[in-house]
Structure formats: structure tokens, C-alpha cells
Structure 1
């Protein structure tokens, strides 16, 4: 396999030199993040699945650390101990990104930590946890789900001074609703005389998960599409959301996540936005020398978009009014992803249980 140093093109470095498109790493694992920073990463994200993987992959550190935490906090249960580990992981990753945070004036250099998915129905609890997490480090940005409940929580948390990253977000209607809510929070702060600051708000669209859902939906409905068509669905949503944000003057940035193909980076280069692929995807894009060309304004091929738009489920995700706010949580990709996040929480509890109460 080609090593990182063998690539003559270095696409991410080339993109950073020429365009405002920036790279964040889709993991808070410190060892992986250091390698991503070498490729040009200026931010990172974490969620329950990512945190569980990072803790699982380093038992030499986390087993004794969890045992020590259990001794320090003798009344804490598995969930409290597990989330303390997630917070510690996030703080260590945030330290690695502090130079980029300082250099960008707070626009980049941020570490995303996700609110507990078990709070997804409780706006007040989401706001309280977001405020708590925002105090872990100066460059923390907090993920809140882009459901109707979560968007209300985002606005209030942003008003209170929390930097926001919308997650559980797959569609143009969700992104636009979040962008508008964050604008409202900024206006509320101005009207209340609260200090102006660089929040670095980002609005994620998990493009690859939209692709995944449409593949599941078309299979369930026995619909055949031209090979490769569904691989453009997330890209189409990202391009459209980006254009709307520019038209409406939203101050938050679109973030491309949940990579399934290089189009979810290469088709967005040139835009003032964030791309957040897992490190393996960064390595593959870099090693293959995928060109860093200004393609953000280039439309999705007409034949592809026409076929996508023939699918009612794609129209729900792509049209600005395709989903009402009350439907965000019930969209197929949202339900599947929330279940995955909740399952990761349960697995983290089980991992901690095996450490603090090992079998006899």
C-alpha cells in the first residue's frame, strides 16, 4: 500500500492552500488524530460509536483508567464512568487541536463531543449537558441531534454560548432548519447585549448515511436504479444545502460526514465548508491522489439528479419543504442512526461493567 509520504499530490494539503474547504477527522482517538493533523486536519468529531471504538482499541490505557475512576467515584454506575471516559478522551483530543483553534480565531480547531443519545427526547436535558460539555475546553463544540426537539435545544444552547454541531442530520430540510435556528440564537444574543464571539457552528449532513437509507428504501420497495445513482444522493443534498446557506447568509458552515465514497469530498472542494471523513478515507483519498478541484458549484449530473428526484424518499430529503420538523426524527436514516448511537451507549456500559465487575 502507498504510504502517506509517497503521495505526490497530497489532495487535502492542496485543497487547504487554494480553497476555504477544511478537513476535520471523524474520530477523537488521539493517535489517529495526530496522523490526520499531519494531512491537514483542523478539527475532529466524536460520537458514541467513535468513542466506544477508541476506548475498545486501547485497553492498555483505558482498563486501568476506568478502574481508577471507579475507585475515585465509588457511587458511580457504568454509564457515569463510561461518559467520564468519553469526556477525558475529548479533552485530550481538544488539546491537539488548540493550535488550529488559536490560529483560526475559533472558527476551526474544534473537538466535537456528542450529547448522550438517551436524552434525545428532552430539550432541557440536552441544553444542560451541552452547557456542561462546552466548559470542558475552550475549543469544544457540542453535537445535538437535528430533530424538532434537538433544534429547539440547539437554539437555546447557542444563545447560552455553546458552539453547536448538528448531528443525526441527513437532509436539506434539517440543515436549513438548523441554520435558521442558529441565526435566531445569534440575533437573540445581539438583542440581549451578549458578547459577540466566533462560535464556529457547523451543520452536519451525514451524506453517506442518506445514501445507505435510500439503498435500503429502494430495495424494500423493489425499485431498481442505474448503478451508482444512489451514491450521489448525499452529495446532491450537501451541494443544495450549501447553496441555500450562501443564499440566505447563514453564518454556520455545512459539514460533510459519514463517507461512503470520495465524491463526498471531491465534489465539495472549493466551498467554505467542512469535510469530516474517517482517517482511513483520508488515507485512501490522499494515497490515490484524488484531484482537489473547485467543484462545489458544479451541479450533480442531470441524468443522475433526474433519476434521484423520481424517488419520493429522495425528494423528502432534498426538497427544502420535503420534511416537516416533526418528521425529522422519524426519517429512516435518523431512526437507524439513533438506534446505532443508543446501542453504542449500551455497549460502552457493558465494557465498563466488564472492567469494574469482571466475571469470577
Structure 2
């Protein structure tokens, strides 16, 4: 009997895993290994184009020819749609075999809309129309939370991104519950609405490491990697107690803790292709760890040394109005903006 891979074992412990990209070659491999979903954003799509120029540059040139009056931004989104539809099709068998409960591809709204709920709703409705198995990603910021509530009320599955903290996760979950209640009141079948709330585990750790360096905080950098695990596990505990329909999703990996410490929960683990292949070859024992608390001494030290750990860990650590100015938010949004601008420039170079 063939021994099951570590990723296949991960799924057997009840934790679904996704490929953290809609790159078709990666996703086809991930699908064979048991992945039941995938995620994307404009930067991820750009990286796929750069990784496989022989595939995508001819596609870009064809789109430009067929859309002679389109702007660079419009060409970007035509390509994102095309890549997304192809990726969603790879996952369609999972979607059908699970009666719509799994097999979703997350497509992200434009980062430029992060302050405009109406624009996110309109684009979200369009993205959801591209395939039956689409979830729409919006930022867990004030306007994005409003947009996700409204999209949920329309029957659209959403995925919160730009999300690092327990307060964000809880506020989004509450908004989605309101959206689900409205959908049911309006006669919409909510059975196949599968909301996801991401905690970008690596990015909150990155933020605390930047804080450590900036303020010369005396703390072991390796122990900072436990911050995100403590945050995720606290959020998971709250979600179970409050019986939210939304599932937590771990993303933005930096170390093996971000996978192995989450195994066993009714969660999504969204791993970059490089990382899940590395885990598959690691020999790490796959056991349930989601319910193992982080060492209380580590949590105590993090609380003592890092103000922003308290803001991220405690359910009431931040108000909604503070989400946008949080350091990890600013850094991540600037990464999204820079990547999007690079994508537009790549298209422009093909146009002229």
C-alpha cells in the first residue's frame, strides 16, 4: 500500500489545505495531492505571468489585440479573469463532489477599492459570476467589511484578506453572520455560502519583527513566530464558542509552525507551492496540534514586550477604525499597490 503524503495526512486530520496561488501548473499538482481550494490576487497572478512567460505573454498580446481601446488596467483585469476561470475549472470536480462545500477559488477585488465598499461589491458580484466556485476576497478593513456583509447577503462566498488579528477576524465574522441572516430572510439558500476569514500569520510575525528592530526590543526573533500561532489559536477558540459559519484560513507562511501547529482544526491552511512541497518532504509527524496552547510564558513575554501583539491577540484589542492604520495593514497594502503597479507596467510595455 502506498504511503500517504504529508499533505494527504493533513487533510485526514480534518484541516483542508489550499494552494496559495492560482498558477495552473501548481494547482494541477496541488489538486492531485489533495488540495481543495486556491487563492489569488493581482500580485499572485503577476508572479504566475513572470514564472511562465511562454504561456502568458502570448495571451496578453492576444488580449491587447482584441481590445484595441482598453487601458492597461482593463487589460490586467481581463487577464486576471482569464487566469481565474482556468484555475476555477481545475477545482470544479472538488466543488461538485462536495456539493459546493469545497473547491473554491478566491479572487480578490482591486486593491485600489479598499476604501470604497460600493466599488468592491460591484466588482465582487462580477468576479463571482465568472464561475460557480468563486469566493470573493475583500480586505478586512472598514469598507471591505461592509462590502463582505453585503456580498454575503447576496449569496456570494467571501474571503477576508489583509487580516492579521483577532479583532479583525471577529468583526468580519459578525458582519458575515448579519449578511447570512439577511440572505435567509430574503429567501436565498445559504447552504453553499462558504465564508473564509484569513489570518496572514507570517505577516503579523513580520510586523512584530520590524517593531523589534525599530525599537531595539530584547526578544528572541525565533520566538516571535509563535505570536501568529497564539493569535490564530485564540481566534479559533472564539470562533468555536460563537459557532460562526466562517472558517479561519491561515496564509502568508514563513516557517513550519504556520502549518503544523494548525493541523487538526476545522480550518483552511493555504500554503504556497514551495512550502507545501517542502513540508511533503520534511518527515515532520502530522498530528493534531490546533488545541495545544502556546507556551504561556511565550504569550506572557509577547504581551509584555509588544503593544501590537496585545492589539492583535485580544478580541477587543482594536476598534474597526484602527484596522486601516495598523502597521501590518500599511505594509501589506503597499505591497499590493506596488505589485499591481508592476503588473500595469508589464502590460504597458506589451502595448507600446
Band the TM-score falls in, shorter-chain normalisation? over 0.9
Note the residue ranges of structure 2 that are not aligned, 5 or more in a row: none
RMSD: 1.2
TM-score between both structures, scaled by the size of structure 1: 0.95
Contact 1:10 1:289 survives alignment (8 Å): no
Q: 1:4 maps to which residue? A: none
Contact 1:66 1:356 survives alignment (8 Å): no
Find the aligned partners of 1:111 and 1:269 in 2 and give their Cα distance.
Answer: 21
Picking from 131, 135, 138, the partner of 1:137 is 131
Q: 1:224 maps to which residue? A: 218
- Deviant stretches of 4+, over 3 Å: none
Q: 1:39 maps to which residue? A: 33
Find the aligned partners of 1:67 and 1:194 in 2 and give their Cα distance.
Answer: 41
**Count of aligned pairs between the two proteins:** 350
Find the aligned partners of 1:312 and 1:248 in 2 and give their Cα distance.
Answer: 26
Contact 1:15 1:269 survives alignment (8 Å): yes
Q: 2:260 maps to which residue? A: 266
Q: CA offsets per residue over residues 215-270 of structure 1, 9 Å max, x none?
A: 00111111011342101111111111111111001011000000011111111111
1:324 aligns to 2:319 (yes or no): yes
Contact 2:7 2:34 survives alignment (8 Å): yes
Picking from 18, 22, 37, the partner of 1:24 is 18
1:48-127 residue pairs with structure 2 within 5 A?
Answer: 48-127=42-121
Q: 1:3 maps to which residue? A: none
Secondary structure in structure 1 of the residue aligned to 2:159: strand
Note the residue ranges of structure 1 that are not aligned, 5 or more in a row: 1-6
Secondary structure in structure 1 of the residue aligned to 2:235: helix
1:210-289 residue pairs with structure 2 within 5 A?
Answer: 210-289=204-283
Q: 1:183 maps to which residue? A: 177
Secondary structure in structure 1 of the residue aligned to 2:19: coil
Secondary structure in structure 2 of the residue aligned to 1:136: coil
Q: 1:314 maps to which residue? A: 309
TM-score between both structures, scaled by the size of structure 2: 0.97
Q: 2:333 maps to which residue? A: 338
Find the aligned partners of 2:115 and 2:313 in 1 and give their Cα distance.
Answer: 25
- How far has the Cα of 1:8 moved from its partner? 5.6
- How far has the Cα of 1:169 moved from its partner? 0.3
Find the aligned partners of 1:317 and 1:46 in 2 and give their Cα distance.
Answer: 24
